[in-house]
Amino acid sequence: DAGITQSPRHKVTETGTPVTLRCHQTENHRYMYWYRQDPGHGLRLIHYSYGVKDTDKGEVSDGYSVSRSKTEDFLLTLESATSSQTSVYFCAISESFGANSGELFFGEGSRLTVL
């Protein structure tokens, strides 16, 4: 199993509060991703990173920011949480990024509830 740890695994917070989810990998993979999973939508990409300090937006990036100061850590921040951000968040990593890539290794997920 790929060494990916997400924390916290569960969090309940109130609307308007900041939240940071952490993803830590021990595989030294260059590429890291944050997805959210919602019923009826599957997995949707929030942000991704292609190296230290190199990040870019995904499909559903509004209301989220990320940072990657070390290869092994990728942080997802909700500056001011809203109820629409209640979801299960998955971190993923990959060795490759280009053509015929697509095999991602996922963490166990972080369930966030915004009241």
Q: Which residues bind another protein (CB under 8 A)?
A: 4, 31, 33, 39-45, 48, 56, 58, 90, 92, 94, 96-109
Output the smallest distance, CB 38 to another protein, in A: 9
> CA dist 54 to 51, 69, 108, Å?
5, 9, 24
Which pair of structure tokens corresponds to residue 63? 């209301």
Q: Of the two residues 18 and 66, which places its CB atom closer to another protein in the complex?
A: 66
Output the smallest distance, CB 93 to another protein, in A: 10
| DSSP E strand boundaries for 19-101 | 19-25, 31-38, 42-51, 54-57, 64-70, 73-78, 87-94
Q: Of the two residues 58 and 63, which places its CB atom closer to another protein in the complex?
A: 58
CA distance 107 to 5: 6
Output the smallest distance, CB 106 to another protein, in A: 3
Dihedral Cα 37, 89, 61, 113, nearest 10 deg: 90
Q: Of the two residues 10 and 70, which places its CB atom closer to another protein in the complex?
A: 10
Q: Of the two residues 14 and 50, which places its CB atom closer to another protein in the complex?
A: 50
